[in-house]
Amino acid sequence: MFDNFPLWPERASSMAGNVDALFIFLLIVSGLMTLLIFTALIYFAARYRYRKGVMAEQIEGSTPLELTWSIIPMGVFLVIFAWGAVVYFKNRTPPRDSTEVYVVAKQWMWKLEHAEGQREINQLHVPVNRDVKLIMTSQDVIHSFFIPAFRMKQDVLPGRYTVAWFRATKPGTYHLFCAEYCGTQHSGMIGSIVVMEPAQYEAWMSGGSTGPLSASGEKIFAELGCVTCHRSDTQGRGPSLQGAFGKPVLLSDGRTLTMDENYVRESILDPGSKIVNGFKPVMPTFQGLVSEEQVNALVAYVKSLAQPGAAAAKNADVATPEGAPAKEQSPGSQVQ
Ligand code: CUA
C-alpha cells in the first residue's frame, strides 16, 4: 500500500510489517480522536454560543459520562500497551542460532566483523532470510545503529555490549545511519547494509577472511597468557571456560548470573567485580591492553568453547594457510 509512497521507508525485514501495523494503528486512533475532539469543539461552540437574554445553565457532573470517557480510553491504551509489548519483546530477543556480527562504533565510522572473520567498514553484507545478531559496542561516545528499512534502531554504548537483531527479507542495499548525535561528523557516519541471495553471500564470504573471529580470539588468549590460569581442566587458578558460555555462574557473593557477552567483557576489563565462587580475585585487568576488536575476538573464542566439537574444527582452520577458511569450518552458518 505504501510501497510507492516516498515518505514511507522501504520495508525489508521480518520486523518491519509488525512495527508499521502498530504505527498505522496509532495514527488511526490519534486521527479519530482529533476528529472527535474538533467536531465536538465546533459543535458545542455553535450550539451553546452566547445569546441575548438566555442564561447559562450550571451542570453538576454526570457519572455515566465520566465512566465512559475513562473506561474507553483505558481500553484503547491497554491495547496499545499489550501490542507494543509484544512487538518490543520480539524485537529485543535475538533468535537462537543467529549469525553473529560484532559492531564497533567510533567517531565517525562503523567497524563490523563477522564471526567467520570478514571485516568491513561502513558496510555490512548479510544473507537474505537469515537471523543476524549484532553485538555492539563503542570506542568513544554513544552512537546509535539505525536501519530504517528494517525498522531497527539500537543505541551503541561505550563500556558495554548492546544487542540487536534483524532478518532481512529482500535482497538489496539499505541505508545505515548513526541516530545519536556524536560530534561534528555525526551526519557523515553512514553506511549500507547489503542483503544478498544465499549463493551470492557464500561467494562473498569465501573471499578475504583471516579465519574465524574465535580463532583470532584463541590466539590473543594464548598471547596474553590467559591460558595459564583458565585451563581446560579444573586445576587452573581461574575458572575453566570450557562449555561455560550461556550457563549460570555462581558468584562469590552468592549471586547467580548467566555468562553472556557482557559478563565475559566485564571479566576481561574489570575482573575483580564479579568473582566466580571458589576463586580468588587474582586476575589483573586488561583495560587499556586490548582493543575493542580484541575483546570481541576473546568473547567469540570463549563462546566457541561452549559448542561441542567446535575447538577441533577451529584448530584445523587456524592451520589453513593464507586465511582461506576451510569449507567445513562453519557449515551451519554457510548453508541456508
Ligand atoms: Cu555516531 Cu552519530
**pTM score, whole prediction:** 0.71
Q: Which residue in this structure is represented by grid cell 575483580?
A: 272
The predicted pLDDT at position 4 comes to 65
Q: Kindly indicate the confidence band of residue 309, based on its pLDDT and cuts at 50, 70 and 90.
A: low
Q: Which residue has the higher pLDDT, 316 or 98?
A: 98
Whether the per-residue pLDDT at 2 is higher than 70: the answer is no
The C-alpha cell that represents 135 in the structure block: 553485538
CA of 101 to the centre of ligand 1 (A): 19
Pairing of strands 99-106, 109-114: antiparallel
Q: Which residue in this structure is represented by grid cell 557516519?
A: 189
Which of 2-6, 60-64, 156-160 has the least mean pLDDT? 2-6
The answer to whether the beta carbons of residues 137 and 105 sit under 8 Å apart is yes
Smallest CA-to-CA distance from 239 within 224, 261, 259 is with: 259
The arithmetic mean of pLDDT across residues 22-48, rounded, is 94
pLDDT tens digits, one per residue of 133-146: 999 999 899 999 99
CA of 326 to the centre of ligand 1 (A): 37
Is 143 a pocket residue for ligand 1 (Cβ < 6 Å)? yes
Whether the per-residue pLDDT at 26 is higher than 90: the answer is yes
Backbone angles phi, psi at 141, to 5 degrees: -105, -175
CA of 266 to the centre of ligand 1 (A): 24
Stated as kind and residue range, the H or E segment containing 79 is helix 63-92
Nearest residue CA, atom 1 of ligand 1? Answer: 143
Whether the per-residue pLDDT at 147 is higher than 60: the answer is yes
Q: Which residue has the higher pLDDT, 295 or 194?
A: 194
pLDDT tens digits, one per residue of 296-306: 888 888 888 87
CA-to-CA separations, 14 to 51, 85, 153, 290, 333, in angstroms, rounded: 60, 17, 14, 36, 19
What rounded mean pLDDT belongs to the chain?
84
The arithmetic mean of pLDDT across residues 41-59, rounded, is 88
The predicted pLDDT at position 144 comes to 95
Q: Kindly indicate the confidence band of residue 275, based on its pLDDT and cuts at 50, 70 and 90.
A: confident
Helix (H, G, I), strand (E, B) or coil at 40: helix
Q: Half-sphere exposure of 194 toward its Cβ, with a 13 Å CA cutoff?
A: 13
